[in-house]
Structure 1
């Protein structure tokens, strides 16, 4: 089995640039008349999907796509060597820091959002990471 992460975005070029600068994902190829971009890095394959605001993902959907800040229980976490460096880099690329960097028994965490409203986090392990509290 293989997993692929899909992220809807309203501007494909801006999303490619953001994820390349903020997370070091690299563009592999563009597909389907430039409506999909395949990125790789961090052990992931990420597909950026060009989707217009206020469209629905399926005909029965009651909610439309909204690229303002929103929350979904499914989000990306990137494990990084230095959470402060990664956070500054992502913010320079256009991310917004939602909460100050926090310290936990297992490490450090920064909660951010991309320019399209999607939340993501940077995690920096200390010791054995989550196993410190398992």
Structure 2
């Protein structure tokens, strides 16, 4: 089994510019006029052009204002401050302060299309710091 990440966006060109600048992804191949494959994470990312107002899952209507979803992406980075600077320069909006925990540091951002992301910098022990109780 493989995991693929699909992200609905209203503007493929703008989304490509954002995701390449913010997270260092690189375009791999165009799959028709409305789908672009990006590589650079452990899973391929597919940007899917879907117009605002069209039906998404079930009867939900796509809205690219900031929205909540029970699924979000975490991007593990080596340098949280540099990654946050890159994301904000690319058009992300920082949501709250950088927070520290036993496993590392985290900050939430929203992309220009309303999707939430967490940038995470792990300590050397990472989540093992939680498992040890």
- Calculate the TM-score normalised by the size of structure 1: 0.94
Asked if 1:26 corresponds to 2:36, the answer is no
Query: What's the counterpart of residue 16 of structure 1?
Result: 16
Query: What's the counterpart of residue 106 of structure 1?
Result: 103
Query: What's the counterpart of residue 70 of structure 1?
Result: 67
Query: What's the counterpart of residue 115 of structure 1?
Result: 112
Task: Give the CA deviation at 1:37.
Answer: 0.5
Cα RMSD (Å): 0.9
- Calculate the TM-score normalised by the size of structure 2: 0.95
Query: What's the counterpart of residue 80 of structure 1?
Result: 77
Task: Give the CA deviation at 1:110.
Answer: 1.0
- CA distance in 2: counterparts of 1:45 and 1:133, whole angstroms: 29
Task: Give the CA deviation at 1:31.
Answer: 1.2
- CA distance in 1: counterparts of 2:97 and 2:51, whole angstroms: 31
- CA distance in 2: counterparts of 1:73 and 1:128, whole angstroms: 27
Residues 71-121 of structure 1 show CA distances to partners (whole Å, capped at 9, x for unaligned) of 111111011011111001100000000111111110000100100000001
- CA distance in 2: counterparts of 1:70 and 1:128, whole angstroms: 32
- CA distance in 2: counterparts of 1:25 and 1:103, whole angstroms: 26
- CA distance in 2: counterparts of 1:104 and 1:80, whole angstroms: 15
Query: What's the counterpart of residue 56 of structure 2?
Result: 57
- CA distance in 2: counterparts of 1:91 and 1:44, whole angstroms: 23
SS at match of 1:37: strand
Runs of 4+ in 1 over 3 A off after TM superposition: none
Structure 2 alignment gaps of length 5 or more:
none
- CA distance in 2: counterparts of 1:98 and 1:132, whole angstroms: 25
Structure 1 alignment gaps of length 5 or more:
none
